Amino acid sequence: MANIIDTWQKQLREAARPEKVKILSSFFKTGKGEYGEGDIFIGLPVPDNRAISKHYHSLPLDQIAVMLHDSIHEFRLAGLLALVEAYKRTRSYHPRCKEIATFYLAHRLCCNNWDLVDLSAPYILGEYMILINNDTIARQLAQSSNIWEQRIAIISTLALVRNNLFLTAMEIAEELVDSPIDLLQKATVWVLREVGKRDKLLLCHFLDRHTDTMPRTTLRYAIERFAPDERKYYMAMRRTTTPLPDRQ
**DSSP-assigned letters across all residues of 151-175:** HHHHHHHHHHHTTT--HHHHHHHHH
Looking at residue 240, what is its pLDDT? 47
**CA 42, CA 40: separation in Å to the nearest integer?**
7
**CA 11, CA 53: separation in Å to the nearest integer?**
9
Looking at residue 218, what is its pLDDT? 86
CA distances from 196 to 81, 201, 221 (A): 28, 7, 11
CA distances from 28 to 5, 31, 127 (A): 25, 9, 27
Looking at residue 2, what is its pLDDT? 62
**CA 203, CA 200: separation in Å to the nearest integer?**
5
Which residues are 127's β-sheet partners?
none
Looking at residue 242, what is its pLDDT? 40
**CA 203, CA 199: separation in Å to the nearest integer?**
7
Q: Which of 106, 36, 16, 98 is nearest to 65 (CA)?
A: 106
Sign of CA dihedral 69, 182, 124, 48: negative
Looking at residue 239, what is its pLDDT? 52
Written as tens digits, the pLDDT of the chain (248 aa) is: 569 999 999 999 999 999 999 999 999 999 999 999 999 999 999 999 999 999 999 999 999 999 999 999 999 999 999 999 999 999 778 899 999 999 999 999 999 999 999 999 999 999 999 999 999 999 999 999 999 999 999 999 999 999 999 999 999 999 999 899 999 999 999 999 999 999 999 999 999 999 988 888 888 899 999 999 999 999 888 554 444 444 43
